[in-house]
Amino acid sequence: MVQITCKNLSLGYEGKTVTQNINFSVNCGDYLCIVGENGSGKSTLIKLIMRIYEPESGEILINGRNIKEYSLRSLRSAFGVCFQQISQYSVSLSESVSIGDVSRPTDEAKVKEALNTVNLSELDAMLDKQLTKRFEEDGIELSGGQWQRLALARAFYGDHKMLILDEPTSALDPIAEDMVFKSFRRLCDGHGGIMISHHLSGVMSVDYIMVLEGGRLIESGSHEELLKLNGHYAMLYNIQAEKFKKGMAEDEK
């Protein structure tokens, strides 16, 4: 079980404050979700936890120890992460997944397992094939959704203590999205995980939700607690629910 604590955490880019005085403590055996509008500081918070950025003030503790006390290697290898910007590497399909854990030689059985988890088993027979046609004429070109699922397979490959997914379903259709939410939940069992998502339909079943606005943590709790609070989360949720209802009504016409 990993416990993450942020104390008075702040960071700015180019003189503009992005993450302001954030305080929380979470047990990551739980399944957490960070929500908020674009630019509210969600990805920055994850990058601070992984020490991709250093805070301007405040500190982050993992299991009671400041993250600076861990080697960068041990800190980062604890997390299986899928960031928003997906890299389309021109390497073999198998390498593209196994770079999720460079501490060990590629394990083909685990590569296949990770592909299966993200519903890409149709690529099992092509593990040695080069991705993209940049260097090989017969390289495989993937669709946007397949690239996104491949990036997820990379995060799921390896024995990480915790999974972090940043907007993992933006290029996926609703069926693939549902599959990702379910796989993530299953893979988080006993590990813990953090998901950043705009799609609040997939957020409802998480254990704990943190709502960021303008770099501040403004609300936190379960879906039901946040709806009762009738604040920012409830407003975002109702906008999405309204859109969904309108879409259903148009479809019925």
> Is residue 191 within 8 Å of residue 161, measured between CB atoms?
yes
With 0-12 CB in 10 A as exposed, 13-18 as middle and 19+ as buried, what is 188?
Answer: buried
Compute the distance between CA of residue 152 and CA of residue 63 in angstroms, rounded to an integer: 26
Q: Which of 9, 33, 35, 41 is the binder for ligand ADP (CB under 6 A)?
A: 41
CB 127 within 8 A of CB 111: yes
Give least dist CB 142 to ligand ADP, A: 25
Binding status of residue 40 toward ligand ADP by CB under 6 A: yes
By the rule CB under 6 A, 44 interacts with ligand ADP: yes
Please give the size of the binding site for ligand ADP, defined by CB under 6 A. Answer: 11
Candidates 42-50, 92-100, 140-148, 157-165: pick the segment binding ligand ADP (CB under 6 A).
Answer: 42-50
| Amino acid making up residue 144 | G
CA gap 12, 19 in Å, rounded = 7
Q: Which of residues 4-33 bind ligand ADP (CB under 6 A)?
A: 13-14, 18
The H-or-E segment that residue 102 falls in is none
Stretch that binds ligand ADP, among 40-48, 72-80, 152-160, 170-178 (CB under 6 A): 40-48
- Cβ closest to ligand ADP, residue 115 vs residue 212: 212
Q: Taking a C-beta distance cutoff of 8 angstroms, is the pair 197, 203 a contact?
A: yes
Our CB check for ligand ADP shows the closer of 60 and 97 to be: 60
Q: Which residues bind ligand ADP (CB under 6 A)?
A: 13-14, 18, 36, 38-44
